[in-house]
């Protein structure tokens, strides 16, 4: 489980450039508007959400108005490219959704043999994607 979670994080980091990496502001952005504080160069588990209309930049004050700043952690836009990069049909954390109510479902297209992705939503009974599956327990990294 832990090994898998780490691999997922590494892949997302690679795809998103500066996602989950501790920045000069001593925080690591986890999505466009969430971050956690870095201690000794490691991001803590407590995920904090920027104020409304603010994005995580990782700079001195971490969150800046979205009207003037770009988030350093961009959402995964091309799901097919994302899934191809993972190299394995599976369920993955949707970094664009800090609530964890959706996840990325990567599957192999039977006709082309290529990996494709779709966003799936967890059921109301088990609303939180915990890195493996949908669960009734909210993981620490979700808001
Ligand atoms: C995630 O949820 C699934 C499905 O409920 C469960 O089997 C698994 O143990 C959970 N994993 C963690 C790390 O909580």
Per-residue pLDDT of the chain (143 residues; tens, 9 = 90+): 555 555 455 444 434 457 888 988 789 998 888 999 999 989 998 989 999 999 998 788 899 998 888 888 876 678 898 899 999 999 999 988 889 999 999 999 999 999 999 989 999 999 999 999 999 999 988 88
Instruction: Give the largest CA-CA distance in the chain.
Output: 49
**Ligand 1 touching residue 91 (CB < 6 A):** no
pTM higher than the cut 0.75: no
User: Ligand 1 atom closest to Cα of 136?
Assistant: 5
**Ligand 1 touching residue 133 (CB < 6 A):** yes
Q: Which residues contact 4 (CB under 8 A, 6 or more apart)?
A: 131, 132
Minimum CA distance residue for ligand 1 atom 14? 130
């Amino acid at each position: 489980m832990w090994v898998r979670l780490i691999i997922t994080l590494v892949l997302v980091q690679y795809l998103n450039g500066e996602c989950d990496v501790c920045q000069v502001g001593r925080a690591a952005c986890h999505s466009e508007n969430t971050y956690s504080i870095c201690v000794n160069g490691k991001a803590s588990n407590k995920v904090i959400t920027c104020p409304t209309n603010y994005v995580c930049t990782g700079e001195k004050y971490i969150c800046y108005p979205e009207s003037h700043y770009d988030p350093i952690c961009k959402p995964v836009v091309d799901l097919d490219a994302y899934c191809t990069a993972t190299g394995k049909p599976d369920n993955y954390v949707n970094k664009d959704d800090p609530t964890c109510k959706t996840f990325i479902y990567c599957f192999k297209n039977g006709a082309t043999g290529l990996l494709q992705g779709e966003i799936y939503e967890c059921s109301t009974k088990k609303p939180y994607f915990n890195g493996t599956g949908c669960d009734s327990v909210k993981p620490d990294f979700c808001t």
